[in-house]
């Protein structure tokens, strides 16, 4: 087979690929044999049972609450989701018991069982000091303290399900987004497959930081037909993490893709209906020559799951990840409690699965080995029931979030002012590239991008950069040429053509402590990644109740005006300004480019950073010294008294040119460059409009749905008494950008359109 590591010379010798074998159900041991082999302690087996019982009691409570049958709080009006995982406890508890305390998990909309399992598994291993940190002020010790912490865990879990302030996410996330970052739970995800690229990015971050930690990514069978999940598998299997390109870090991503195959995506069957393979573990063969060590395990046996995850985690810690494990399991209820499930599966099928129930299976082994007696098991079951009831009563009576705090946690107000010592040292592999100014001392918009990134990457080793064609080639527009040679492939590397995974992996990397910058070659491609940008990056600070910050920058180039046609020319900042949780910046000058990009890299919010391709060659004065431009601070580029232009991006330069033409006619226009749409500096705009009495809001967006409408609306609402004429808007025509330069010139707004708008109101 050709070896493409060094070059791409043609080689067409015949060959055959052997895709190897994928084994299933190889675990033939049991509790007795495990104890004799000293591969499990009796205490741990007992803890696995209690963990599973806690999950089931929690979820049976949810089922009963819907009908008022949960007696401890029978009158409580539960309004949350009802995606229970009853039947899957062996997969959750078996996996989390096998993980180290500091390992991470991500989960799904059916994820409160996984969340309960991870927290419980960690709590069982905590020393007394760590337990006291979970319940400050406690006077308990020993078993009493452990019980107090377990009840506290159940309490915070139920509070989150109930939307209470004491929930792990302060009621902002709810059951489908529950997370406890303190125990390594990076969040459940209501978007099917949405957490898989995040888990992959987290593993990439842990690999970079060399923590020795592993990510276990729980996702169901339905997710493994989802595009971004397949992108994530490809991402994790990239040769560049393990071959000669990796140089001293030939280390695969430390991630276990754990497929919870309960055989139903929602109501559709994975088996013999929507899949074309006999097992989902076979997916791995398409993304890695070693099949990602894929195997199928009995998900109804927590000991089988535990053994497989222990082996998988060890492979990951040795640098041989990723690993795919398919846990063959079953959920006893439908997709939600509104799904009666009798339309698509039989009672006989359900009964057969209940015959191998994971809890009953482990109970039997605990009894047969003498590890527990029937009385001890009964006592444990009663303890779990009572603990859940106590926590539920407390949760139902606990405080709801205050209505005035509805938007609290939407954004973080923190920035990276000082790089922490634990971030490590900067290691350069070559000279820093030079950003040359011309004979007049001017720098291009393109090189302002590069200079900002050089300074920030040379300041903070947590800043990494990746995207399509950005390494050796320096990006499609050469804005980052030379960064690879200076910072090396650990910090600057090419990505597959996987915009969703580019952005999603950045979310995960940011969650575990990196500060990624990713490049989307054209902003049009952000639509391929819109879930990871808008549902993931933008929302996790809020949905987690401020447990996590997501410091990442998405550099998206806008191509309007270059004749690239309808799929490479859209100006989409208005769309992302409609996504709470994102900052949206769009510099129009080299000076603003450098200052805003440096600010974006240091900010702890996700930033959609828009760059104009038509401005890459535009020159301006840019200080070589460090400077930052605050977000939400518009700039008056030209002062005037008769009319106000409010604008951003390339339209700024048309507004300035139009203002000069108007000055010849005795009309003095004030030109305001917003620079950031979110946050929006309306104060500067309103002060100007109060002075001039007339306003035109201009951009290169198409007019319908444009952010120009938001600005115009706020002016009308807040400065109506100062207006001498209606606020006018200028933008591209409400259509699709044509390739023809004749048609594109007519499509794009220009100075004539601005002059026409001025004449309409003066």
Tokens (6 digits) for 254? 């430390």
What are the b/e assignments for 592-619, b being 16+ CB within 10 Å?
A: bbbbbbbbbbbbbbbbbbbbbbbbbebb
Phi, psi at 608, each rounded to 5°: -90, 110
Residues 554, 506 contacting (CB under 8 angstroms): yes
Q: Cα-flanking dihedrals φ and ψ of residue 158, to 5°?
A: -65, -40
CA distance 473 to 468: 10
Helix (H, G, I), strand (E, B) or coil at 291: helix
Q: Looking at residue 406, what DSSP letter applies?
A: T
Q: In the block, which residue shows the tokens 């047969």?
A: 368
Catalytic residue among 293, 541, 568, 653: 568
Q: Decide if 300 contacts 330 (C-beta within 8 A).
A: yes
Name the catalytic one among 50, 468, 499, 573: 499
Tell me the two tokens of residue 544. 């987690």
- Which token pair is 539? 């929302």
Q: List the one residue out of 526, 528, 512, 518 whose CA is nearest residue 491.
A: 518
Token digits of residue 615: 């401005």
Say how many Å lie between the first and final Cα of the chain, rounded.
73
CA separation, residue 275 to residues 96, 226, 296, 458 (Å): 28, 11, 16, 48
Distance CA 333, CA 338 (A): 10
Dihedral, 699, 644, 632, 585 alpha carbons, nearest 10: 20
Q: Give residue for tokens 């846990």.
A: 327
One DSSP character per residue, 109-149 reads TT-HHHHHHHHHHHHHH--HHHHHHHSTT----HHHHHHHH
- DSSP category for residue 400: P
- The span from the CA of 70 to the CA of 638, in Å, is 68
Which residue do the tokens 């040795």 mark? 318
Q: Would you say 174 and 81 are in contact if contact means Cβ atoms under 8 Å apart?
A: yes
Q: Give the number of other Cβ atoms within 10 Å of residue 713's Cβ.
A: 12
- The runs of H, that is alpha helices, within 165-291 are 196-209, 227-236
Task: Say if residues 591 and 566 touch (Cβ distance below 8 Å).
Answer: no
- How far apart, in whole angstroms, are the C-alpha atoms of residue 241 and residue 286? 17
Q: Give dist(CA 39, CA 132) in Å, integer.
A: 30
Peptide bond into 322 cis (omega under 30): yes
What CA–CA distance (Å, rounded) separates 229 from 487? 30
Q: Minimal CA–CA distance to 59: which of 34, 30, 88, 33? A: 88
DSSP state of 583: E
Instruction: List phi, psi (to 5°) of 420.
Output: -65, 150
CA–CA distance, 42 with 126 (Å, rounded to integer) = 17
C-alpha 524, offset from chain centre: 20
Q: Is 561 left (phi over 0), alpha (psi -120 to 50) or beta?
A: left
- Name the DSSP letter for residue 605: S
568 among known catalytic residues: yes
670 flagged as catalytic = no
Structure tokens at 587: 């510099």
Q: What is the β-pairing status of strands 676-678 and 695-702?
A: unpaired
Catalytic residues: 499, 568
């Amino acid at each position: 087979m050709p070896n493409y590591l060094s070059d791409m010379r043609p080689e067409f010798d015949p060959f055959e690929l052997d895709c190897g074998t994928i084994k299933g159900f190889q675990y033939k041991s049991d509790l007795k044999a495990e104890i004799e082999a000293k591969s499990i302690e009796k205490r741990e087996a007992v803890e696995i049972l209690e963990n599973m019982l806690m999950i089931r009691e929690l979820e049976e409570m949810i089922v009963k609450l819907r009908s008022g049958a949960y007696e401890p709080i029978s009158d409580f009006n539960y309004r949350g989701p009802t995606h229970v995982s009853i039947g899957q406890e062996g997969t959750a508890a078996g996996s989390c018991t096998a993980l180290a305390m500091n390992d991470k998990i991500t989960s799904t909309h059916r994820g409160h069982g996984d969340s309960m399992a991870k927290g419980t598994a960690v709590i069982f291993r905590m020393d007394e000091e760590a337990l006291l940190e979970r319940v400050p002020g406690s006077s308990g010790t020993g078993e009493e303290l452990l019980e107090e912490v377990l009840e506290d865990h159940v309490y915070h879990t139920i509070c989150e399900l109930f939307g209470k302030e004491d929930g792990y996410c302060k009621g902002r996330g709810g059951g489908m987004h529950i997370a406890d970052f303190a125990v390594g739970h990076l969040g459940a995800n209501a978007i099917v497959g949405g957490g898989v690229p995040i888990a992959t990015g987290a593993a990439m971050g842990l690999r970079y930081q060399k923590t020795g930690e592993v990510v276990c990514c729980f996702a169901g069978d339905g997710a493994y037909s989802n595009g971004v999940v397949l992108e994530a598998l490809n991402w994790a299997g990239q040769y560049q993490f393990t071959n000669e390109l990796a140089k001293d870090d030939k280390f695969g991503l430390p991630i276990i893709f754990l497929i919870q195959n309960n055989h139903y995506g929602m109501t559709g069957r994975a088996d013999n209906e929507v899949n074309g393979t006999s097992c989902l573990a076979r997916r791995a063969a398409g993304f890695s020559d070693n099949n990602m060590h894929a195997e199928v395990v009995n998900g109804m046996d927590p000991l089988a799951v535990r053994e497989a995850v222990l082996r998988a985690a060890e492979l990951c810690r040795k640098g041989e990840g990723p690993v795919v494990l398919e846990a063959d399991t079953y959920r006893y209820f439908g997709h939600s409690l509104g799904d009666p499930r009798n339309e698509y599966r039989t009672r006989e099928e359900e009964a057969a699965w209940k015959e191998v129930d994971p809890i009953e299976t482990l109970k039997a082994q605990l009894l047969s080995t003498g590890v527990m007696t029937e009385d001890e098991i009964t006592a444990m079951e009663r303890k779990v029931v009572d603990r859940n009831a106590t926590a539920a009563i407390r949760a139902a009576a606990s405080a709801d979030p205050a209505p005035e705090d509805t938007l609290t946690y939407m954004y973080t107000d923190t920035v990276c002012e000082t790089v922490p010592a634990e971030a490590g040292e900067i290691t350069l592999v070559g000279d820093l590239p030079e950003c040359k100014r011309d004979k007049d001392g001017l720098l291009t918009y393109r090189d302002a991008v590069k200079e900002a990134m050089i300074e920030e990457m040379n300041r903070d080793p947590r800043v990494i950069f990746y995207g399509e064609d950005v390494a050796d080639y320096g990006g499609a527009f050469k804005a980052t040429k030379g960064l690879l040679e200076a910072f090396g492939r650990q910090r600057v590397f090419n990505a597959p053509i996987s915009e969703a995974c580019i952005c999603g992996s950045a979310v995960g990397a940011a969650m575990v402590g990196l500060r990624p910058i990713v490049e989307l070659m054209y902003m049009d491609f952000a639509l391929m990644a819109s879930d990871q940008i808008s549902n993931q990056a933008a929302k996790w600070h809020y949905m987690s109740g401020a447990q996590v910050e997501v410091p990442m920058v998405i550099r998206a180039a806008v191509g309007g005006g270059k004749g690239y046609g309808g799929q490479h020319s859209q100006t989409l900042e208005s769309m992302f300004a409609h996504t709470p949780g994102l900052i949206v910046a769009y510099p129009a000058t080299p000076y603003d480019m450098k200052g805003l990009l440096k600010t974006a890299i240091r900010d702890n919010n996700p930033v959609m950073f828009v760059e104009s391709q038509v401005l890459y060659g535009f020159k301006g004065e840019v200080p070589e010294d460090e400077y930052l431009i605050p977000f939400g601070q518009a700039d008056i580029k030209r002062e005037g008294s008769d009319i106000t232009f409010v604008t951003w991006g390339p339209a700024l330069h048309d507004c300035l040119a139009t203002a000069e033409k108007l000055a010849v006619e005795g009309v003095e226009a004030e030109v305001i460059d917003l620079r950031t749409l979110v946050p929006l500096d309306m104060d500067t705009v309103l002060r100007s409009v109060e002075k001039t009495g007339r306003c035109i809001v201009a951009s290169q967006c198409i007019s319908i749905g444009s952010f120009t409408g938001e600005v115009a609306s706020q002016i009308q609402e807040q400065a109506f008494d100062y207006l001498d004429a209606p606020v006018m808007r200028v933008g591209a025509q409400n259509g699709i950008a044509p390739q023809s330069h004749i048609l594109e010139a007519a499509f794009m707004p220009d100075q004539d359109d601005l002059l026409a708008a001025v004449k309409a109101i003066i």
